[in-house]
Chain A
Amino acid sequence: MGIPINMSDTPPEVKVKSARKLFLSGASIVWIIPILALVAALGVAISSYNSRGPVIYVEFDKGAGIKAGETELRYRDVTVGRVEEVGFTTGLGKVVATIRVDKNVGPFIDASASFWIVQPQVSAQGITGLGTVLSGVYIEGSWNDEIGEFAERFVGSDAPPLIRAGQSGLQIAFRTVGNGTLTDDAPILYRGIEVGRIGKAAIAPRGNFAIVEALIYEEHRNLINSSTRFWDTSGFSLSFGPGGAEVDFESIATLIGGGITFDTFVSGGDRVQDGTVFDIFPTKEDARSAVFNATDVEPLMLNVIFDDNVSGLAVGATVELSGLNIGEVDTLSGIVDFDQFGDSRVRLNATLAIQPARLGLPGDVTAESAFAFLQDRVVNGLRARLASASLLTGGLKVELVVVDNAPTARLVPAGDNFPVMPTTKNETSDAAATVEGVFSRINNLPIEELLNSAIGLMNSLQAFVGSDELQQTPRDVRTLINEVTGLVSSESVQNIPVSLNATLSRVETLVATLEEEQMAARLLAAVDSVSEAADSLTTSTEGVPELIEEMKTVAANASELELQQLVDELTALTRSADQVIGTPDAVALPGSLKDALDELNYTLRELREGGAVENVNRTLASARNAADNIAVSAKDLPQIVTRLTSVFTQAERTIEGYNKGDEISRTAQETMRDIQKAADALASLARTIERNPNSLLLGR
């Protein structure tokens, strides 16, 4: 409380201390201004914060001129956002553009959105993005017009996508056939009008074809149906014909930038759905012929890994099953897989494209049914192998053959990979190598030895045939025959039948009255001896069938074309023949024969001179008497008959043995046998008659 400065004389005014004013009552009205300003600023801040759209992060491979704060995000060429920040993903792998999107657009950016950088581009298809030369690049976004769940992170691309979200059209894919090619972003033309476009071509995971997405614009989708065939019109074709040279290309644009066109050659195609895959043929002709030839069935793809990396198998080589062309080799590659095969050798990996339709399967013709069929066949031993397709070119083909006793193998689906067909030993050989092999085998044959043996055989044969004894044999035989003729034609002999007739009638009665057992027993013994003789005859000729068997074996072997063995066998045969002929017995044979004949001659002469015929007659007369006695022991006759039967059976069997020989050898055999038999019989007859002509009949 200070002393007030008071200029007046009036007493100090009564100090009236007003009550303490309220806090704000003394405040000036001017404070409203900053408060209003603050409120306004706050209001602006809040409203601008509220109007901020969401932030999205788009990853790009390259920055491509994106600048923070400048580069815009556009949708249908209208700015709807702005890049706030450009950074990298962790590890600098990609560029991340942080984009602030307008609030009203934000909700539409869902998983369907795609982003790409628009920048000037000069390509065969034209110049695009020219405006960005001055304005700088911008990011174009595409999303559909439906509000979806907000997504924050996207992967952008450097080029616009073929199919933008919300864009309608027929989405199909193309696949190259054979060695066809594809051009990125090429237009699809129909009658020169662009009705669609293909995207970025990609190589299939296994590298055997290229595949590309394509879009047929909505207004043209009716042009495509399932019988439509597409072909490549890029480049130009040059042909020379009677009409002169002809250069053909679709248009300048397709000449440079490539293009695809199509046509529907046949009617009746079905409506196609999105996602259908069409083949792209290299030329119109291929496309046209494909309509009529190819089945619409997807070929069954199989891998075959051949251990031998044989040259000569080419892409397009046929695949045969039982000689039937069922497909072709689609691709060829080498394969080295230590884990699978246990070594680091390069193996030939052939991919076969098998046309299910050519297998002739019943029911649905699909790759699956063909696969099931092959699976079943593989269990039964079906294997793949390489075989020579042409000896001249050395080309190879793949054969599917059934191998007996093949090691167990199965054809199993291999998921992402093609199933692997088991293989067997290849049937291939180089033509040159084959011929050389034949020659070398022939060269190795023991021709010299064979010839030597043959010469030896010939010599022995010559010596045998040329021996004096053998040459003399025919003369002896003739003499013998003369003697026999003489004997037969003699009067006494002529009488024999008459006597014999009488004798036989007597024998009949004799048989009935034969009573003495001894007589029958002797008869039996005699029959036994005859049987023995037959046996010995069999034994003596036993060797011959064996020889023939051997020859037959040789012949059989020879027919099996075992040339080497044949020659060997022939050599052995000639050698053994040589040995047989060279034995003293064989050499002595002509001598013995001659002796026998000599003896025969002598015997006959004696017979004629010594009144043997008279003896016979007399004997027959005696026999008549004997027959009377024989009749007594007729009860033994059946036994005799049985013995006789057995003898005949044996003889028959013997003759059968000879039948086993060949026609020629049998004739010779028969001749020899007849001669031998005749000789033996005559010899024994002569000897018996000489010794005691009556003994047989009289039993003494």
Chain B
Amino acid sequence: MEFAGKSQKILSAREMGLVACTRCTRAWPIGTPVCQRCGHKMLSRDFGSMQRVWAFWVMGLLCYIPANAYPMLKTRTLFQVDESTIVGGAVELAHHGAYGIAFIILLASVAIPLAKFWAIAFLAVSVKRPNAEAQRSRHVMYEIVEYIGRWSMIDIFVVAILSSLVQLKTLATINPGPASMFFALSVIFTMLSAQAFDSRLIWDTNASDGDPDQHV
């Protein structure tokens, strides 16, 4: 990823009458139906992607609700069963003085997923309202969202590791709660949503009012 740092006008491939294969990156003249090299279907702009973005986005949000409502971990010790949700667990940690860990959990499990939802939604909406000034920053945002998405799975890793390590029969056991599955699904769907987003749409500033319907 390379940024020129110059504020000159960036010319998009579409404006140059080219279309790049999204699989093998070979550029072809616009209108080429199939990549001559790898046989991938060629589309200059995938307007249908917005539907997929929103569909996965909604799914991700749907899954995020039970992920927060249900307990993430079932901790069964000798005398008691402890079930805590993500936020509840973080608050409990904070009560015990582990502010750092609580902050990390809140950041990784609450702040970042919420930020992702916001970012994807923002990008998807902003495509409809082209704004030439923020094209670069929007693209950066997209890059971050896509990059950071997989790291949200760190919660699930923690749960998976704890569950497999702490299985001491009656003494103490930790099992994943229903929220862990929903959280994983939520992460997956947000990643899918981010992937479905056609970042090239960011660069169509004026073109959209030219001919949004024009795709071959």
Q: Which residues of A contact B (CB under 8 A)?
A: 2-5, 7, 26-28, 30-31, 33-34, 37-38, 41, 70, 134, 136
Contact = CB atoms under 8 A, between A and B. Distances in A.
B29 A7 contact: yes
A167 B214 CA distance: 82
Nearest to B53: A30
22 contacts: A2-B211, A3-B210, A4-B211, A5-B210, A26-B48, A28-B51, A30-B51, A30-B55, A31-B51, A33-B59, A34-B56, A34-B58, A34-B59, A37-B59, A37-B62, A37-B63, A41-B62, A70-B80, A70-B81, A134-B78, A134-B79, A136-B79
Interface bracket on B: 20 to 34
Given A28-B48, A41-B62, A134-B78, A34 B55 contact: yes
Interface centre among B48, B81, B209 (most CB of A within 10 A): B48
A393 to B, nearest CB: 67
Contacts of A2: 209-211
Contacts of B51: 26-28, 30-31
Contacts of A34: 55-56, 58-59, 62
Interface in B130-187: none
A28 B52 contact: yes
Nearest to A28: B51
A504 to B, nearest CB: 150
Interface in B11-36: 14-15, 17, 29-30
Contacts, number: 47
A603 B110 CA distance: 171
B52 A30 contact: yes
A4 B17 CA distance: 11
A26 B54 CA distance: 14
Nearest to B210: A2
Interface in B28-83: 29-30, 48, 51-52, 55-56, 58-59, 62-63, 78-81
Interface of B: 14-15, 17, 29-30, 48, 51-52, 55-56, 58-59, 62-63, 78-81, 196, 209-211, 214
A33 B29 CA distance: 35
B51 to A, nearest CB: 4
A131 to B, nearest CB: 13
B210 A4 contact: yes
B179 to A, nearest CB: 14
A41 B66 CA distance: 10
Contacts of B78: 134
Nearest to B83: A69
A29 B5 CA distance: 40
A26 B51 CA distance: 9
Given A28-B48, A28-B51, 9 more contacts: A2-B210, A4-B210, A5-B210, A28-B52, A33-B56, A34-B55, A34-B62, A37-B59, A70-B81
A31 B79 contact: no
B214 A4 contact: yes
Contacts of B80: 70, 136
B121 to A, nearest CB: 15
A134 B170 CA distance: 12
A415 B209 CA distance: 100
Interface centre among A30, A31, A37, A70 (most CB of B within 10 A): A30
B182 to A, nearest CB: 10
Contacts of A37: 59, 62-63
Nearest to A27: B51
A19 to B, nearest CB: 13
B173 to A, nearest CB: 15
B110 to A, nearest CB: 21
Contacts of B81: 70
A304 B209 CA distance: 112
B55 A28 contact: yes
A33 B214 contact: no
Interface centre among B30, B55, B79, B209 (most CB of A within 10 A): B55
Nearest to B214: A4
A7 B59 contact: no
A31 B211 CA distance: 25
Contacts of B15: 5
Contacts of B209: 2
B53 to A, nearest CB: 9
B55 A7 contact: no
Contacts of B58: 34
Contacts of B48: 26, 28
B178 to A, nearest CB: 11
A38 to B, nearest CB: 7
In the A-B complex, list the 9 residue pairs whose CB atoms are closest, starting with the nearest. A2-B210, A28-B51, A7-B17, A30-B55, A34-B58, A30-B52, A34-B59, A31-B55, A2-B211
A481 B59 CA distance: 169
Nearest to A8: B31
A26 B213 CA distance: 12
A2 B212 CA distance: 10
B55 A33 contact: yes
B210 A30 contact: no
A2 B208 CA distance: 9
Nearest to B51: A28
Nearest to B63: A37
A622 B196 CA distance: 196
A496 to B, nearest CB: 151
